[in-house]
Every structure is written in C-alpha cells, then in structure tokens.
Structure 1
Amino acid sequence: MTTAIAALRAKVASQRTDNPVMFGAVDFSIWPERLLKDQPELSDLRGPFAKDASRLLARSDLIERMEAYTMLGDTVADPYAALMPQYGFRPLVDMLTLACDKGLDAVPDAPAELVRFIRSMEATPAWVNMDLIERGASIQRNAMANFAPWAIRGGFIATFMNKYAALPMALTGTLSHKTAGRRIKETAVFFATSTLPGALQRFGPGFKAAAMVRLMHSMVRFNVLARARWDQRVYGIPIPQVDQMPAGLISDYFLSAKALKEGRKTFNPDERAQVELSRYRCFLLGLPQDLLGDNPQDVVDIWNARMVTIRSGFDEATCGALLKATMETELVDTSTPAGAIRERFEKSFSKLYFLQNFCDGKEERARDFGVRIDAADKLRAGLVGVHVIGRIRAFEAAAKVPGLRRLADRRLVGKVRNYLGTLGHAEFTSDAEKYRPAPGAVPAT
C-alpha cells in the first residue's frame, strides 16, 4: 500500500515543526537544483533503461513520490540524533546499543525519541516472512563469502558518481584514505552480518547494525545541516530517503533487470527469497515501503525514477576526491607480500566490477569518473573472476546435494564470519568528531 501523496508532502513539511533542532532552518517549499522535472537529458538515467524516461515521467504518482522522498530524512532516527546538544554524542550511542542488546526496559529513563525509534523497527510489517528471509540470507551467503570481499570497493565508489548525493560524505571527513576505508568496512559489516543465520531477528546482530547505521546517517544529517557549506537551494537535504536506495536495493535491481531481460514479470523462488531479504533489511534501515518494489518491473521503475529525477553532476573537488580516497585506501593488511598482492588484485577486480555495472562497460566513461583501467587490471580481474566464479558454482552445486547442503552452508557461515573478522569491529560512528554538533548547531527558532 502506497502513501497518499498529500500525506507524504505533509510528512515532509512536518520535519521542520516536529524536529526544529535539525530542520528549523530548512525551507521545504524550495525546489533544489538537484531535483529535475521533465529534463531526462540532464539526469543520471543512462544505459539500456534511458529509453524508459518518457514512460517514467508520465507516471506522475511515481515521480511525485521521488520528489517528496528527495526531501525526507529519517523521521524516527533524526529526532533521536537531534538530542546531541542535550545528551552528547556518546550517551546516545550507548543508549541505542543497550536498547538493541537488551531491550528498551534496560535503558534507564529512555528518551521518548529512543523509544519511538526502536518501536518503529520492532513494528514488523505484515508482508514480512522470516522463513523466506532466512532462505534469502542462506542464498546470499555464497556471494557474500566469495564475491563481496573482491567487489565491495567497486560498489562503494559507485555511490560517489553524483555530487548532489555525495557531498554529505565529503563534509564528514571521508576524503581521507583512513576514513574512506572505515566507511567501506562499516558498509560491508552491515550487509555481511545481515546474511548470517537469525541476524535480522529482534536481538540479532543485523537488527542492531541497522539501528547503528540509521543513527550514523542521522548524525551526519544533523551535523551537515548546521554547516555553512550546505546549500539547500542546490542540494536539498543531506542523505534523503532516495539516496539510501542504491546501497540497500542494488542486488534487487540487478536481479530485476535480469528477470525483465529474460521476459519475466515475476521472480523465481530463489530470487523472491533474496528480494524479501533486501526489502526487510531496507525496512530496518528506515526506507519507506513506497520505495520497496516487490516485482521486477516495480523495482526497476522505482530505481530509475530516482535516476531520472536527480541532476547528473560529477566534480573533482567532491566526487573525484572521494573516489580517489576510496580507490587508494587499504582494506587489508598490506605489510605482508600476500596482503599486498591481494590488495592489488582486489583493486583491479573492483575497477572492472565498477566498469561493467555502472559504466555500461565503457572505459571512457569510467575514465570520466577517474577510474583508469589498463591491461594489467584486466588480467588480474580475469584471474580473480575465474577464482570467484569457480567457488560460487562449487557451493551452488553442493547446495543441491542433500548430504552436502548443511556442510556447505556451515562452511559459508564460517567464511562470512572470517570476512567480518578481517573487517574489524565497526561502531558505525567512525570519526566521532564529525558527528558531534558543529559550531552553531543549536535549536532553531
């Protein structure tokens, strides 16, 4: 069920009165530069779906929702983050951690904002089928264990292709190699954790990780809005709901595009399980159901509606610097010969992953984004691809043999846990200074 557009617009406008500490200075009647209307040639919609621009723009209901969600933050996590001037940064993190680990009753004098935040995550929608979600997680463990460690960098740099969406990251210190590495690892930790058995149950580690990610985003949103560099006439609001879709729904988008290419209007059972995992994971991250398509065409249309309504824009100062920092950061210990070799191969594979999935396979377009690919990169990426595909297919084959299925899954669970071990412990609050109230961040009047 979709939200009535009038109610959605009212919800957007209410952010100013309901959360004046964060949004009191924001004029939600302003149409930001980033938000396009009927100008697909200026948008980020490219590749094989560019031909759908006219059809998408004719769907006024869908486009109006994209416009509204471009101006909507997280209406339950934002008020909690806005308590920073009152409580301070660390107490907010500690209270949320305790509420996730032991429940709200364990938090003495829990603020009403924290109660509302946690209760909203506990309000499981009727469409959620945990058995199906667990099945989706078991399927995705194969890719998470064998593919993700090689491709995470390539997927991450794709989030920096548009300056309107990337600026909040630049303003919170991700331009340095160290912080870029932390952000990649935090992202990987959340998605890897969510594929473990039972991770998304109420007291599972995935539930807690989702809450921490939301708090991190809200703290960024709070701090960025207090900075003079943020121009809402150009950028709208930081990290709106539509900008959280790419990370949360990318696997659904690829599955859906594949289904449509094959002439299918529905998902097969394995695809359905994976999509339901993503949809519930996104619910926990705060994405509204309006953005969570449940069939291939809706998933692709919602994704592309965002692309056709965001103005294309890549600049070296923001996007280029973020991309450079992400490509140069070290994700493994390179002090050993084995680590240094692995890093080199991983970077090459990430470049090719980025090329094929976000640049339509066009090297000149990748170069425009600052990703240069040479013959050595192609050779290294090819070798990694053979290795990765071989392992994935071996586990797929094992999953079809009754006597091997459980053994293979236990092995995959172990590999995912080992991967998490290489990523280290993620607090989802790297660079705490960046999330504390900036100078001048006081309740708006």
Structure 2
Amino acid sequence: MTTHYPELARRVRSQRELQPELYGGIDFDAAPYRLTIDPDDASALPKWVAERTPILTDERVVELISTATMLGDTVADPFAALMSRHSVTSLVGMVRQACREGVDAVPDAPPELVAFIADMEAAPEWLDMDMVRKGARQARIESALLSPFITRGAFIATFTNTYAALPMALTGALSGRRAARRVNETANFFAVTTLPDALDRHGPGFEAAAMVRLMHSMVRYNALERSDRWDPEVYGVPVPQVDQMPAGMIGLYLLAQQIHRKGRTEFTSGERAVVEFARYRCFLLGLPEELLPTTAEGIIQVFHARAALLRDGFDDATCGGLIRSTMAAYLRSGETRFDRIADSVEKSYSTAGFVIAFCHGNRHVARRMGVSIGVGDLARIAVTAPFIIGRLLVVTAANRVPVLRPAIDRYIVRLVKRRLAAYGNPEFVSDAKNYTPIAH
C-alpha cells in the first residue's frame, strides 16, 4: 500500500521511541475509536457543509488525517514530561527565559528545552517574513475590531465533539473562574501574535506560541500519566495535531470558503500574506507542514476531512458542561455598568456567530448544544452593529489607501494593546492539581 506521508508517519512512530514511558502503551498502528472511515458511521461533518463520501474515497487525505490524529508534539512533549522532576513554575520559567534571552541564558538548560526551542527557531524553507509581517498587519485589524466579539463563540465550537473536547474537560480548565481565564488566554494569544514583529525570534508572539505548546504538552502528559480516565484505544493521543489545526486555521478556512463562493481559485497578494502569516503562526505552534495547505482548495479539503473522519459524539456531561461554563464566564476585568453591558453585547455576538457558523443558523441545533439566542441578543446586535461592523468596514477600506495606512496601523496597534491589557496576563499552564474526573 502506498504511503503518501512517510515523514509524518515516521514522526508519529518516533513518539514511542522518544518517550516510551509516556507513549509505550499506545498502539500507533491501530486507529482509535474516535477515528472512523466507515461510511455508515455518523461523523462530525454536517451534510450541509460537505459530502462525506468523496473524502472517504480519497486515499491521500484519509491517510493524512489518520496519521495526524496520532501525533502529539515530538519536541515539546519530552520537555513537559520533566514535570516528574521539576515544578510547573520551573518549566514555565525556563521557557520564558529561553524565549527572551536565548537558551544559553538558562542555567543548566536541559537538552529537552534546547531541542524544543531549536525546533521553533528552525525556520521552514517556505518562510517569507516580509509576507508574514504584511499578513499580520492585515490580521490585526480584525483582531482589534472583530475578534473580541466572536472569540468566545469560536472557542466553544471546539467543544461540540466529545472525542475532541475531552482533554479540556479533563483538565477542569473550563469550570468556574478558570473558564474566563482560558478564553482570555486564547484571545490574548491570537491578538499578541498580530503585533508588529511579534513572531520574530524574540518577539512576544514567539514566546506566546512556545507557552501554548508547553500547555498542550502538559495536558498530554497529565492525561496519559496522571489520569485513569484517558483511554488511548478510544481517544488516541490527547490534543493531537489534527485537533489543533482548526483553531489555527479557522480564519483561512473562512477566507477560502469566501473565495470559493466567489468562483475564484487563487488568493490575491494581500490574501496570500494573511495565509503565510497564519501558516507561520501554526508552524510555531508545532503543526506539521502537511496540515498547512497553501491553496484555498487544500485548506477546505483538510478542514472537511478532519471532520469527516472524526466520529460524531456529543454528551452533555463533557460537551454541554464545557459550553455552558464558557458561555456563563464573565470575561471583563471590571464590574462597572459599562463592563456589564459590554460583556452582554460580546456574549450576544459570540452566540450569533456560533449559531450561524457552526449550526447553519439552526437555533434548535444550537439549543441542543447548550447555546440559546434570544430576542435580547438580537436587539443588542441590532443596536451596536452600525458601530461595530461599520467601524470595521471603514477601517478596512481606509487601510487600502497607501497614504492612510501608517496612521490606520498606529490606531489599530493601540487598540490591540488595549485589548491585551483587558485580557490580562496569560499563564498558559496546565496543572494536574486542577484536573477533574470525567464520567465514562
């Protein structure tokens, strides 16, 4: 049988050799229950999104998704495994210092840290930092003006499938106040990476990406080593790369869909810059290049294929609990009347965004998942849309005028920094002490 992605398969198998104590009990040659290529099984790909049959008959894409479903992080995972000898605080401090001052500045830097940072420093052959900076400049407009109103909705979209949502449920990171912290951390990461030069070697976005990778690796370690709830035969590898791809590439997927609806097949030069920015950000997060297509068709295909091979599953204890706690979370740092109004407006936009983007506008489907949109939400959107959407359209249009672009960018950078201050200082850690038992 032809192997279309031999290097990716090698990386998957290497996990057992690199960390036999962590991955020795996982059979990488056997598909976990979550992965299904049976056309009679229900999958996470809704019929209104795409037909599943053509995907299942595509050997190449089936192999890609099947292989990436079993891939963790071959350089960050060994470093996170040092939790058996070092405190979480110590590991976090090492990564932060290595990002800011270089690995040589870390006293007695373990070889696992050296390998981790070196992997992030090894720029891929396709990288064009000028394109990345151009893409970041465009991306931060939405980060400043639109993302604050839809991040929560996009965040809860990752909880609509039991098999993909379990790692987050297991950590207990979305119960109580920790729910607000995780949403703000996610918003913080995507915002900080859009700042000027943020993804440069010593930029804040580079450090944020390293911290996110460490957090995901800590989740893998704790799920496999410190929880009796994780069953590899059912769930495979915790937080596999194939489950990280949607969060990193969702913007490109929506852009690709927009291009497809217009009958186009190619990205414009400006759109290409956004694509390269997002791809490099995903690279820093550890995603393999095989999951980072460069064409609109390829981006759509990999998104649909991931859903087509993910077994359908929604249980209220896992998915419903995560969605309800996230929607109930209060994200503002203040308690003034303005803060309360702003929080309710943001929730209304996030709710509407979730219903439209992930439920095909079907309120009944959304309600079954724990998300309800009411008259009050629609009224808040109607009242504020002229300002929120209007400002976005005006700024986007002004940014196309070369003489206005520098002033527009200064304005947007100030807004992004204000957003970051409101999100608070991210921790990007996963502590086993906070983990909660999940019913079988």
Q: Same fold (TM over 0.5)?
A: yes
Q: Which residue of 2 aligns with 1:230?
A: 230
**Does 1:384 pair with 2:371?**
no
Aligned runs of 1:191-206 on 2, under 5 Å?
191-206=190-205
Deviation at 1:55, TM superposition (A): 2.0
Unpaired segments of 5 or more residues in structure 1?
439-445
Q: Which amino acid aligns with 1:183?
A: R
Q: Which amino acid aligns with 1:42?
A: A
SS, match of residue 82 in structure 1: helix
Which residue number corresponds to residue 22 of structure 1?
22
1:75 aligns with 2:81: no
SS in structure 2 of the partner of residue 50 of structure 1: coil
Secondary structure of 2:164 counterpart: helix
Name 2:92's counterpart in structure 1: 93
Conserved 8 A contact 1:220-1:434: no
The residue matched to 2:404 in structure 1 has which SS? helix
SS of equivalent to 1:27: coil
- Give the Cα separation in 2 of the matches to 1:63 and 1:402: 45
The one-letter amino acid paired with 1:105 is D
Cα gap change, 1:384/1:245 in structure 2, threshold over 3 Å: closer, same or farther?
farther
Tell me by how many angstroms 1:50 deviates.
2.0
CA contact (8 A) 2:171 2:432 kept: no
For the pair 1:267 / 2:229, whether they are aligned, the reply is no
Verify: 1:370 aligned to 2:370, yes or no.
yes
Aligned to 1:305: 305
Give CA deviations for 1:253-282 in whole Å, capped at 9, x if unaligned.
000011111111111122111111100000
- Aligned partners of 1:125, 1:8: CA distance in 2, in Å? 16
Distance 2:41 2:379 in 1: 36
Letter in 1 for 2:383: L
Aligned to 2:328: 328
* Cα distance in 2, alignment partners of residues 100 and 431 from structure 1: 22
Contact kept? 1:179, 1:430, Cα under 8 Å: no
Residues 351, 373 of structure 2: 8 Å contact kept: yes
Distance 1:29 1:125 in 2: 29
Match of 2:291, as an amino acid?
A: L
User: What is residue 418 of structure 1 aligned with on the other side?
Assistant: 418
Aligned-pair CA distance for 1:141 = 1.3
Q: CA RMSD in A?
A: 1.7
Deviation at 1:49, TM superposition (A): 3.4
CA, structure 1 residues 259+41, in 2 after alignment: closer, same or farther (shift >3 Å)?
farther
Deviates more, 1:374-383 or 1:355-364: 374-383
Q: Structure 2: how far apart are the matches of 1:187 and 1:430? A: 14
Partner of 1:60: 59
Distance 2:99 2:316 in 1: 40
Q: Identity over aligned residues, as a percent?
A: 48
Measured against aligned partners, the alpha-carbon deviations of 1:375-420 in whole angstroms (never above 9, x if no partner) come to 1111212333332211111212322334422111100000000000
Partners of 1:327 and 1:138 in 2: how far apart?
30
Q: Is the 8 A contact 1:40 1:309 kept in 2?
A: no
Find the counterpart in structure 1 of residue 162 from structure 2.
Answer: 163
- Deviating beyond 4 angstroms after TM superposition, the runs of 4 or more aligned structure 1 residues are none
Corresponding residue number in structure 2 for 1:34: 34
Q: Distance in 1 between matches of 2:205 and 2:382?
A: 33
For the pair 1:5 / 2:5, whether they are aligned, the reply is yes
AA of the residue aligned to 1:158 = A
Q: What is the rounded CA distance, in whole Å, between the counterparts of 1:432 and 1:100 in structure 2? A: 25
1:146 corresponds to which residue?
Answer: 145
Alignment-derived partner of residue 441 in structure 1: none
Change in 2 beyond 3 A, CA 1:402/1:296: closer
Deviation at 1:251, TM superposition (A): 0.1
Q: Which amino acid aligns with 1:354?
A: F
Distance apart, 1:175 and its partner CA: 3.7
Calculate the TM-score normalised by the size of structure 2. Answer: 0.95
Which residue does the alignment assign to 1:442? none
Secondary structure at the aligned position of 1:83 is classed as helix
TM-score (norm 1): 0.94
How many residues align structurally? 433
Match of 2:247 in 1: 247
Distance between the aligned counterparts of 2:104 and 2:218, measured in 1? Answer: 24
The CA deviation at 1:204 is 0.2
Alpha-carbon distance between aligned partners in 1 of 2:12 and 2:129, rounded to the nearest angstrom: 31
Q: Which moved more, 1:361-370 or 1:207-216?
A: 361-370
**Counterpart-to-counterpart distance in 2, 1:385 and 1:350:** 13
Amino acid at match of 1:55: P
Give the Cα separation in 1 of the matches to 2:144 and 2:75.
Answer: 33
Structure 2: gaps (5+ residues): none
Contact 1:56 1:305 in 2 (8 A): yes
Deviations 1:312-362, CA, capped at 9 Å, x for gaps:
111110000000100001001452111111111111111000011111111
Distance 2:401 2:253 in 1: 29
Q: Helix, strand or coil for the counterpart of 2:414?
A: helix
Q: Secondary structure of the residue that 1:348 maps to in structure 2? A: helix
Indicate the larger mover: 326-335 or 159-168: 326-335
**By how many angstroms is 1:40 displaced?**
6.6
Range that drifts further, 32-41 or 276-285: 32-41
Question: Does the CA-based 8 Å contact 1:153-1:184 persist in structure 2?
Answer: yes
Whole-angstrom distance in 1 between the partners of 2:67 and 2:255: 26
User: Per the alignment, in what secondary structure is the counterpart of residue 50 of structure 2?
Assistant: helix
SS of the residue aligned with 1:49? coil
Query: Against the structure 1 CA distance between its residues 431 and 329, is the aligned structure 2 distance closer, same or farther, given a 3 Å change threshold?
Result: farther
